[in-house]
Structure 1
Amino acid sequence: MKIGITDCGAKYPIYERWILSQSPASGVSNIETVRLSYKENNFEQIKQCDGIVLTGGEDIHPKYYGKPEAINLCNSDFMDEQRDEFEWKVCEYIFEKKLPVLGICRGLQLVNVFLGGTLISDIPSVGKSDHSKFHEGQDRYHAVEVLHDSELSKITNIVFGEINSAHHQSADFIAKSLKINALSDDRIVEGLEWKDADFEHYMMLVQWHPERIINAEENSFSYKIRQSFVENIQSKIQ
């Protein structure tokens, strides 16, 4: 199988290594990756892909979710409108072709916006806890509740746990076709999935970073997410 991974710069190899790793209890190992990037002008390569990982990274320009005035709450040094435009096309392809998709951090936010939702442009500015990295660049870790009636609950078999956190934005208004599957203690959205259980194609959206979570090979918020994604792709192409 071939899995497309959107380009996120220097951290791209972390996602690639994670996707190529073999999870416990999973026999899926025949994986190749495709780096999808506007810098390589290789959108056409998405046609080779059986599934897509939408990676973390820059703030999405608020014009995409109807809040251009929120630009002052975004990190102007951490925005890339060319990436926004490229990955918008990736989303168009995903939902037209019904490809399995895993959205991570920015990836969750992008899909929510693409499907009609909005974002909190800066979490601390609305009086919530800081979910961004510590000043020295380390991920924060905080508690999360997985909602019991969700696909995420079935995948992880966890109700209360701990995840890593490295974001100053989050989902606000949730797209009508999606539902929340995980929340932090201060009720920040930590995961989204299809609202309708009879979804047409696999989609899991998480606000944390399963690709670099501590003890990823043993942590259900990491390896089970990957396992669910790749096994779904495997079953689709067989």
Structure 2
Amino acid sequence: MRQKIVIGVTDCSKYLKYSNWILGHSEAVEVIQLSHWANNFEDIEKCQGILLTGGEDVHPKFYNKPELYKYCYETDINEARDEFELKVLQYTEANNIPVLGICRGLQIANVFFGGTLIPDIPIWGKFNHSKLPDDSDRYHKITVDPSSWLYTIIYKQEGTVNSNHHQSADIIGEGLVVSALSPDGVVEALERRYPKGKSFLCLVQWHPERLNDPESNFVKNIRAAFVEAAAG
């Protein structure tokens, strides 16, 4: 009997959305919840892939700009989670573990690689990318770099994705490159600048786990590529 692929999913308020999305791909997948609350970092040793979920703002002190704290949503700051997930990324890089980062997952990964964040997108002069007044996701177009690694997964230069965030990548981390942008220039995806010989690293700002079209290439192709990478 084939051994199950174990995916570690970082804890957040919508954890079940992410875990169910990954589990829905295949009966061969098992999920482990990785949480600073449970203090179960050692469970990462059982995982063949890591999904970094959405959630709270990243504290600006982790990208050496503590003065930007005033632009964050204070109730959404969780330094213990930041520290836990930075430690997770340190482990995945050291052990060549595939990583899929979603929304905050993109942001904390960019910080891990030495990048910075825009702490509040509208204040920085771009369109509002947070949820709509009725609490639903916003939707907008994005453009994918046709020469990017991401394009070899999605096979689309344009698409419509959902959006619910007020922070985004600013200065891009070392070894990373932008692979998709919104029309107003907000970073929608990051990848390795030189992916050859390196572990899978796909960082997206949208939410494939709840996009209204589950058959979109921006959903199913990303999930399939990630699980395949975790399977080895």
TM-score bracket for the superposition, by shorter chain length: over 0.9
Q: What is the Cα deviation at residue 70 of structure 1?
A: 0.5
Following TM superposition, where does structure 1 have runs of at least 4 consecutive aligned residues deviating by more than 3 angstroms?
none
> Using the alignment, how far apart are the partners of 1:98 and 1:231 within structure 2?
14
Choose from 219, 224, 229 the match for 2:226. 229
Deviation per CA, 1:185-225, whole angstroms, max 9, x where unpaired? 00110000000031410010000000000021x11111111
Choose from 13, 18, 22 the match for 2:16. 13
Q: What is the Cα deviation at residue 38 of structure 1?
A: 1.0
Q: What is the identity, as a one-letter code, of the residue corresponding to 1:224?
A: N
> Using the alignment, how far apart are the partners of 1:228 and 1:121 within structure 2?
30
What SS does the corresponding residue of 1:33 show, helix, strand or coil? strand
Give identity over the alignment, percent. Answer: 50
TM alignment of 1:81-230, pairs within 5 A: 81-216=79-214, 218-230=215-227
> Using the alignment, how far apart are the partners of 2:175 and 2:108 within structure 1?
14
What SS does the corresponding residue of 1:151 show, helix, strand or coil? coil
Q: What is the identity, as a one-letter code, of the residue corresponding to 2:189?
A: G
TM-score, normalised by the number of residues in structure 1: 0.94
Q: What is the Cα deviation at residue 176 of structure 1?
A: 2.2
What SS does the corresponding residue of 2:228 show, helix, strand or coil? helix
Unaligned ranges ≥5, structure 1: 23-27
Q: What is the identity, as a one-letter code, of the residue corresponding to 1:3?
A: I
> Using the alignment, how far apart are the partners of 1:109 and 1:143 within structure 2?
20
Unaligned ranges ≥5, structure 2: none
Deviation per CA, 1:35-71, whole angstroms, max 9, x where unpaired? 0001111111000000000000000000001110100
Choose from 62, 71, 75 the match for 2:73. 75
> Using the alignment, how far apart are the partners of 1:144 and 1:96 within structure 2?
32
Deviation per CA, 1:150-194, whole angstroms, max 9, x where unpaired? 111111110111000001000000012001000000011000000
Q: What is the Cα deviation at residue 135 of structure 1?
A: 2.2
Q: What is the identity, as a one-letter code, of the residue corresponding to 1:184?
A: S
> Using the alignment, how far apart are the partners of 2:69 and 2:173 within structure 1?
21
> Using the alignment, how far apart are the partners of 2:142 and 2:173 within structure 1?
21
Higher helix share: 1
What SS does the corresponding residue of 1:38 show, helix, strand or coil? coil
TM-score, normalised by the number of residues in structure 2: 0.96
Aligned-CA RMSD value: 0.9
- Report how many aligned residue pairs link the two structures: 228
